[in-house]
């Protein structure tokens, strides 16, 4: 069940419903349960990146290392998608509407042109469509339960492929539904499957990208 502030008796209940996240990631203004999409847009533009989960604004957990990793992957995917005119690639500040009241911000996303519902749907403040591919780069602030709930939201909205990147282990979990995954290690090659046919990325090349290494 989605969490709403009025549905639970204690803050602990709300935190558990959101994936056992730490309380300092919940914004208190607007008061939990009362936040709107307009509030989310305003705060994302002026303060910090937040997801909207049934009236609750939750700060996105992401550090500088995770941002570098996401931006590296975004450039690699973009270099594959753009010359082939396959669709749109977005970064961590792109708000995507999973359903009414639940807006997610995947670290990287790809949506094929055929799944962009109107000519300018991708040019709005909030994308009213789910990505075909959603990528999350794990940070210390994420919890397993939180990421599981994100996967549920993505696939329920129509996402077909989710990559969960673990920087410390240098692995990528490739999900084709909310529970089924294949774990790829640094010696493996990440592919786009049916979502990005022909896309291949040796993970040794990705994890050893120069901007992800110590300064020479």
What does the mean pLDDT of the chain come to? 94
Say whether pLDDT at 97 is over 60: yes
Query: Which CATH architecture best describes the domain 64-212?
Result: Alpha-Beta Complex (3.90)
Within 10 angstroms of residue 56's Cβ, the number of other Cβ atoms is 25
pLDDT tens, residue by residue, 31-75: 999 999 999 999 999 999 999 999 999 999 989 999 999 999 999
d(CA 55, CA 35) in angstroms, rounded, equals 4
**C-alpha torsion 168→14→154→83, nearest 10:** -60
User: What is the SS3 string spanning 138-161?
Assistant: CCCCCCHHHHHHHHHHHHHHCCCE
Confidence of residue 10 (pLDDT cuts 50, 70, 90): confident
Say whether pLDDT at 2 is over 50: no
Per-residue pLDDT, 44: 97
d(CA 182, CA 164) in angstroms, rounded, equals 10
DSSP summary character for residue 93: T
pTM of the model: 0.93
For range 78-104, the mean pLDDT:
96
Confidence of residue 101 (pLDDT cuts 50, 70, 90): confident
Q: Is the peptide bond before 128 cis (omega within 30 degrees of 0)?
A: no
d(CA 155, CA 205) in angstroms, rounded, equals 28
Per-residue pLDDT, 6: 58
Alpha-helical regions (H) of the chain: 11-17, 37-46, 64-84, 144-157, 203-207
Say whether pLDDT at 5 is over 60: no
Say whether pLDDT at 3 is over 80: no
Per-residue pLDDT, 157: 97
Closest CA to 106 of 65, 150, 161: 150
CB-CB contact of 66 with 107 (8 Å): yes
Say whether pLDDT at 88 is over 80: yes
Reduced to 3 states (helix: H, G, I; strand: E, B; else coil), residue 112 is strand
Per-residue pLDDT, 216: 81
For range 12-34, the mean pLDDT:
93
Per-domain boundaries in the chain: 5-59, 64-212
């Amino acid at each position: 069940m989605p969490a709403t502030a009025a549905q639970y008796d204690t803050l602990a209940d709300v935190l558990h419903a959101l994936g056992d996240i730490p309380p300092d990631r919940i914004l208190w203004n607007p008061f939990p349960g009362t936040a709107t999409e307009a509030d989310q847009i305003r705060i994302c533009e002026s303060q910090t990146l937040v997801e909207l989960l049934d009236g609750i604004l939750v700060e996105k957990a992401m550090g500088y290392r995770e941002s570098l990793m996401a931006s590296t992957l975004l450039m690699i995917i973009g270099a594959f998608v753009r010359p082939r005119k396959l669709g749109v690639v977005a970064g961590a500040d792109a708000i995507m509407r999973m359903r009414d009241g639940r807006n997610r911000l995947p670290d990287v996303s790809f949506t094929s042109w055929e799944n962009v519902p109107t000519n300018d749907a991708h040019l709005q403040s909030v994308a009213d469509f789910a990505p075909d591919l959603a990528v999350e780069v794990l940070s210390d602030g994420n919890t397993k339960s939180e990421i599981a709930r994100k996967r549920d939201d993505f696939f329920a909205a129509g996402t077909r492929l989710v990559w969960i990147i673990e920087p410390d282990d240098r692995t990528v979990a490739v999900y084709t539904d909310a529970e089924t995954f294949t774990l790829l290690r640094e010696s493996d090659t990440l592919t786009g499957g049916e979502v990005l046919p022909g896309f291949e990325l040796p993970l040794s090349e990705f994890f050893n990208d120069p901007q992800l290494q110590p300064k020479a």
